[in-house]
Chains A and B, each alone.
Chain A
């Protein structure tokens, strides 16, 4: 990714607004952007969703193919998460092999769904130790205005809900719905001028000192976290972010 610069003018503008308790798009500090979720968007995928979070837009496709399990987990399917930050989505993205940013996005989404047990991987076994379903979660970012973590996480969860295991096509019995256990929802906040902003836009991310992504499941337990950028949070700030992630996670979960 090319060096991302932001004009001092824009930085000042954001700072001055924040000092007055406002954000550039008129939201409150703890308010997320409008969310739209469309499932079963891609017919060639086993499960899919198109998510619009403000001006950010991602398409998530889930595909299941047969393969060998890892030797140390013979009774479990395999989860593989991949994110494509394609140049279509932003002038700051470049083509080529995955860079650090897309690898981080993919790994944070992967951690949320893996540790939050979004899918019962033990039900994706065809023959223990020999043949299992390999679940590919492919995240395609087509319009980028910040907070890929949450848009992609919501997309993955929504895609799981409607995904079908294509057992019939593979000659392994009848098709069945993907065994969904939980919906680990991530909520991302950034710190700008000491203020905590939920669901940052691209401009807010560019001036942010620190970022924290928190994924929670239905009972309010945490299942994954990731802190990013070179700034720091205080203990109180972390508690506040986790608290709002739990609350907003419930709101999002009720609506996908």
Chain B
């Protein structure tokens, strides 16, 4: 959060945002299930300018062994940003922010996985942010849920995720980088649509009670939409015969040799 530079108008006179969206409008979201060949399950998410890949290995032997739980599986998430994913090159490797995000995503996913079916094992979830433009933890959690389902891990439901926030005094959905940097609040959420449970919730900035209530409603409605896109990705993956689809049929990609 910070001061708005004078030349940047986050909400225009028509109530539209810098990328032309209405306050309650999400950025375009596209999900491909089964994007990688080697992982047990995977999903690729393009959400606005975010590009995020998630992969799942397991249930498999738990490392380090002292973390093993004799009664249930451990869901271990690892969130990582590529050094080229942001404008200023990020130093490779984990930092305090990625440790925290890994932890809260692990906890959100643990809630929906039937961990009691796989005692002593670990279900490893890897989230790689290839290109970042605010909302990467939501994109990561959304992708990770689809990857778990793609890996055949038994789950109560998919966790859907989206952020709401406050920009220039207006409650908006799914903030971009500019809105996050110069806005007034950001509130990412992870939501289980079939049970109505909130499994991830963070907030930073400043919101009144009224604004908070509006934001949380907006968030829940958005998560329901995200959930539809997740389900659609899985249906497309498993209604197709033969080889797994290419996750992004890039038009400019060239076939060689």
Q: Enumerate chain A interface residues (CB-CB to B < 8 A).
A: 32-45, 48, 50, 55, 57, 59, 61-63, 65, 82, 84, 86-91, 95, 97, 136, 138, 140, 142-145, 251-252, 255-256
Contact = CB atoms under 8 A, between A and B. Distances in A.
A59 B130 CA distance: 8
A255 B254 contact: yes
Contacts of A59: 82, 130
Nearest to B60: A91
B114 interface: no
Contact of B257 (A86, A87, A255): A255
Contact of B83 (A35, A89, A97, A136): A136
A143 B36 contact: yes
Given A43-B131, A142-B128, A63 B83 contact: yes
B85 interface: yes
Given A43-B131, A63-B83, A32 B39 contact: no
A83 to B, nearest CB: 10
B85 A44 contact: yes
B84 interface: yes
Contacts of B256: 34-37, 252, 255-256
Interface stretch (B7-15, B49-57, B158-166, B180-188): B49-57
B51 A42 contact: yes
26 contacts: A34-B255, A36-B254, A36-B256, A39-B252, A41-B250, A44-B84, A44-B131, A65-B88, A84-B82, A84-B92, A86-B126, A87-B124, A87-B126, A88-B53, A89-B38, A95-B78, A136-B84, A136-B89, A138-B84, A138-B89, A138-B92, A140-B128, A143-B36, A145-B38, A252-B257, A256-B254
Contacts of A55: 37-38
Residue among A38, A42, A44, A84 facing the most chain B CB atoms (10 A cut-off): A44
Nearest to A33: B257
B39 A88 contact: yes
A32 to B, nearest CB: 6
Contact of A88 (B89, B126, B133, B257): B126
B6 to A, nearest CB: 20
B5 interface: no
A86 B84 contact: no
Interface of B: 36-39, 49, 51, 53, 55, 57, 60, 78, 80, 82-89, 92-94, 124, 126, 128, 130-133, 250, 252-257
A143 B49 contact: no
A42 B57 contact: no
Contacts of B51: 42
Nearest to B80: A86
A88 B127 CA distance: 8
A38 B131 contact: no
- Name the 9 nearest CB pairs between A and B, nearest first: A61-B84, A88-B126, A45-B84, A255-B256, A35-B256, A88-B55, A55-B37, A63-B89, A38-B253
B77 to A, nearest CB: 11
Given A38-B254, A61-B85, 19 more contacts: A35-B256, A35-B257, A37-B256, A42-B130, A43-B131, A44-B85, A44-B132, A61-B83, A61-B84, A84-B83, A86-B80, A87-B57, A88-B36, A138-B89, A140-B130, A142-B55, A143-B37, A256-B254, A256-B256
Given A34-B256, A61-B82, A255-B256, A145 B37 contact: yes
Contacts of A44: 84-87, 131-133
A77 to B, nearest CB: 15
Contacts of B86: 44
Contacts of A89: 36, 38
B243 to A, nearest CB: 11
Contact of B131 (A42, A144, A256): A42
A89 B133 CA distance: 23
Given A39-B252, A42-B130, A82 B38 contact: no
A239 to B, nearest CB: 23
A45 B37 CA distance: 26
A39 B94 CA distance: 27
A142 B92 CA distance: 15
Contacts of B37: 55, 57, 143, 145
A22 B83 CA distance: 40
Contacts of A32: 257
A138 to B, nearest CB: 4
Nearest to B250: A38
Contact of B38 (A42, A63, A84, A91): A91
Contacts of A95: 78, 94
Contacts of B84: 42, 44-45, 48, 61-63, 136, 138, 140
